[in-house]
Amino acid sequence: MFYFKDVIGQQVAKEKLKQEVREGRIPHAQLFCGPQGSGKLPLALAYARYLCCSNRNGEDACGTCPSCIKWNKLVHPDVHFMFPIVKSAKGKKELCDDYIANWRHLLTTTPYFSLNHWLDEMGAENGQAIIYAKESDEITRKLSLKSVEGGYKITLVWLPEKLHEVCANKLLKLLEEPPEQTIFLLVSENPEMILPTILSRTQRFNVPGIAEEDVEIALCERYGIQPEDSKAIAHIANGNFIKALETISLNEENQQFFDLFVSLMRLAWQRKIREMKQWSEQVAALGRERQKNFLDYCQRMTRENFIFNLHRKELNYLTRQEENFATRFSPFVNERNVTGIMQELSEAQLHIGQNVNPRMVFFDFALKMIMLLKQ
């Protein structure tokens, strides 16, 4: 676990990182960027393990030195994690360390996960996860201590775009004047949302989506999926291994999003205003993070249904269930309304991000869909 060999595909990225170490060109702060499911986090973890290993070879960490033994259980004393959390109601959980057992469990189960999976692991329900201001004092304290193993001190920040402004500014000071032998690894899906001054202090490392054939091989070898099914799932995943895993496990959330999308389109076509109001209340109960993800899903379904009209199967990335729905629904998404639908979805996302009342946002969007679908 957490070796370069465990990272799916990404051979070019792996080689670049190993070459940095071999040539002694290790930046004190790197920003791993790329689409969801590309393996940014597993890659950063493998790189961190490689840096800590006292007996690494040209290809990977040794797996047997004292550092590697600690890495097996994610208990290395010189490796620190920062990640979004949700404060408990009584304020008993305010720091990442309060959730470190959950974090280790999820990472050792699979390092390919999304923010939603992490929210479920925390039992966050409707909370919005952020990296709170108090965390900056804690990481400053940890980095002021000497390295226990005598090597690098590594801080891995997952989703730095979720940093509280106070925490971001204090982290900036650490990046500007890093303690000796300290390395920061930031793993982001939305780098444009990170404080510009932090971006300017990091070296960007772009991680592309995973090659389709690499996803296919991983599904066959690691999950025992039949070659024909692996090929189909790898195509649907489109470089996103999280999506591939969700496809094979029939992820409950994806099923819920599909049902909500289908329900809205039918209600809008039938102009059932009362039921649409009930629908908006149902979506409003999901919580902000899931609402954002649902709107992402709606954008994807709109785009895929528009492309479905071209009758070019290789251009579509739909599950069988979604494809069955698209055979009937796709004619209603066309050049006359596709731009309008996407604009309304983008506006809804903006309003949800600004904490506008979700019932109003989704009911307004639902009403607009009546007119858009008739075009």
Cβ pair 17, 43 in contact under 8 A: yes
Cβ pair 82, 89 in contact under 8 A: no
Per-residue model confidence as pLDDT tens digits over 30-72:
999 999 999 999 999 999 999 999 888 888 999 899 999 999 9
Per-residue model confidence as pLDDT tens digits over 98-129:
999 999 999 998 899 988 889 888 887 666 78
Q: Does 248 or 43 have the greater pLDDT score?
A: 43
Q: Which helix or strand (DSSP H or E) is residue 125 part of?
A: none
What is the Cα–Cα distance from 317 to 37, expressed in whole angstroms?
Answer: 15
Whole-Å CA distances, 113 to 40, 78, 127: 11, 24, 18
* Averaged pLDDT for residues 193-208: 92
To the nearest whole number, what is the mean pLDDT of the chain? 89
What is the Cα–Cα distance from 159 to 153, expressed in whole angstroms?
Answer: 20
Q: Does 318 or 295 have the greater pLDDT score?
A: 295
pLDDT on residue 3: 93
pLDDT on residue 90: 56
Whether the per-residue pLDDT at 229 is higher than 60: the answer is: yes
What is the Cα–Cα distance from 130 to 355, expressed in whole angstroms?
Answer: 15
pLDDT on residue 125: 63
Backbone angles phi, psi at 224, to 5 degrees: 65, 25
Residue whose C-alpha is closest to residue 31's, from 211, 183, 168, 238:
183
pLDDT band at 79 (very low <50, low <70, confident <90, very high): very high
Please return the burial class of 6, using the count of CB atoms within 10 Å of its CB with bins 0-12, 13-18 and 19+: middle
Report yes or no on whether pTM surpasses 0.75: no
What is the Cα–Cα distance from 300 to 293, expressed in whole angstroms?
Answer: 11
pLDDT on residue 352: 92
Residue whose C-alpha is closest to residue 173's, from 152, 143, 153, 205:
143
Whether the per-residue pLDDT at 89 is higher than 60: the answer is: no
Backbone angles phi, psi at 282, to 5 degrees: -65, -45
Q: What percent of the chain has pLDDT over 70?
A: 97
Whole-Å CA distances, 262 to 84, 242, 325, 335: 32, 23, 8, 20
* Averaged pLDDT for residues 343-356: 93
Q: Note the CATH number of domain 4-206.
A: 3.40.50.300
